[in-house]
Amino acid sequence: MKYAQLLITGQSTIIDVPAINFILKTRILFTTLYLLRLYKKKGATEAINFFKKIQPYRKYNFSNEIQEHLFARTIVSWTQVFINLIHKEALCLERSIAICASLRYLGLQSQVIIARKATMNASLRFEFHAWVELCCLPINDVLPAKTKFTEVYRIPER
């Protein structure tokens, strides 16, 4: 864990990140499962409307943004594992909605960003892409995604 923190933060000090217990993992699993099914059956609009209404199950107090970011990365990792078990072929929008819902469920004010390719000659596979941001940093994608794409829509709006 300390090596992962070093790579993410660039700091040698270990930051205490709140643990994720079994009940919390189960709630994340059911939220992810529900949202992926809702997306498949009723579409992106219904899934987005559902996650906009999510009320936090628990509010965490973080000592700094790095601790919040590391906690969010842990939640993203678990949500991603559940998505891969349930629906490996999920598109970036499906994944982002499920991840953002899990984060918002835990009181983290994350947002789904939908963006379009910044240039036509970019060697990217898709015209559009979606990711989740927390404190204006991509949490389930790499930072350069923000430079390769132009933001079209932010859910929920600031």
Check: pTM over 0.95? Answer yes or no. no
Q: Dump pLDDT digits (tens) for 106-115.
A: 888 899 999 9
Q: Dump pLDDT digits (tens) for 22-73.
A: 988 898 888 889 988 999 999 989 998 998 888 887 777 888 888 888 889 8
Residues in the chain: 158
What is the DSSP secondary-structure string of 113-145? EEEEESSTT---S-SEEEEEEETTEESSS-TTH
**Given the structure tokens 């579409």, which residue do they identify?**
43
| H or E element in which residue 78 lies | helix 65-86
